[in-house]
Structure 1
Amino acid sequence: MNTIINWFEIPVQDLERATAFYEAVFTAKFHRESMPGMEMAIFPHDKPNPGGALLKADAFKPSAQGSVVYLHASDLTAMLERVAKAGGECVFGPQVLPDDIGTFALILDSEGNRVGLHQPA
């Protein structure tokens, strides 16, 4: 096993709004899928690498508390500018981490989820 991480889901109330937010921040297109009782917008990823999705389903609610998913940031400064323009907010950072780990920030997305952005050193 190379990694324990397999898949993540970020709950959303408005899938169109959330997809527009993340597509703007990451300058990427998301693939849409649906299953009974849920709609998803899939983050771009190379298979078989771990991936994730925005998830709209009655049993899942956005939250600024709880687990935090950290997403890769190739240019954290530019991404934080796009976060603000897309309707999100930077709530912490950017903070440089010790030992050449990189820089990270915490944002609130368009749905109220706390999400981390990490730019490796």
Structure 2
Amino acid sequence: MNNPINWFEIPVEDLNRATAFYEKLFDAAFRCETIAGIDMAVFPHVKPATGGALVKMAGLTPGEQGTVVYLHTPDLQAALEKVQEAGGRCCMPAQALPHNIGTIAMIIDSEGNRVGLHQPA
């Protein structure tokens, strides 16, 4: 198994607000759809790459506790500069990782989720 990660979902309270936040953060358009009664905004990706979505559904609550998803960014500093402007905040400043892995930071998104950002070396 080369990559066990297949799909991820980030819970949101306000799908429009969350979509606007991430579209601004990544300068990308998300695809909005409803599948099995679940409203979602899908992160842009090219199959077979790992995909994910912002989801609004009963039983999922945004929050700072729990699993942290790290999203790729080619320019961590530029992404961090957009976070507050887009309605979020930085909760862990950029930190270089050992072994030439890259640099990471953590943010709180517009919905209150703790999300990691990773710029590979």
After TM superposition, the score normalised by the length of structure 2 is 0.97
* Contact 1:6-1:51 within 8 A present in 2 as well: yes
Deviation by residue 1:22-70 (Cα, 9 ceiling, x = unmatched): 0000000000110243100000001111100000001111010000000
Q: CA RMSD for the aligned pairs?
A: 0.8
Q: Which amino acid aligns with 1:89?
A: R
* Contact 1:37-1:58 within 8 A present in 2 as well: no
> SS at the partner of 2:91?
strand
Aligned to 1:6: 6
Q: Following superposition, which runs of at least 4 residues in structure 1 exceed 3 angstroms of deviation? A: none
* Contact 1:107-1:115 within 8 A present in 2 as well: yes
Aligned to 1:78: 78
Q: Structure 2: how far apart are the matches of 1:27 and 1:111?
A: 19
Aligned to 1:28: 28
Q: Is residue 15 of structure 1 aligned with residue 10 of structure 2?
A: no
Q: Which amino acid aligns with 1:111?
A: E
Shift of 1:2: 2.2
Aligned to 2:49: 49
User: Unaligned stretches of 5+ in structure 2?
Assistant: none
Q: Structure 1: how far apart are the matches of 2:90 and 2:66?
A: 17
Q: Which amino acid aligns with 1:48?
A: P
Q: Structure 2: how far apart are the matches of 1:58 and 1:32?
A: 18
Deviation by residue 1:59-105 (Cα, 9 ceiling, x = unmatched): 11101000000000110000001111101000002001111110000
Q: Which amino acid aligns with 2:50?
A: P
> SS at the partner of 2:82?
helix
Alignment of 1:57-76 (within 5 A): 57-76=57-76
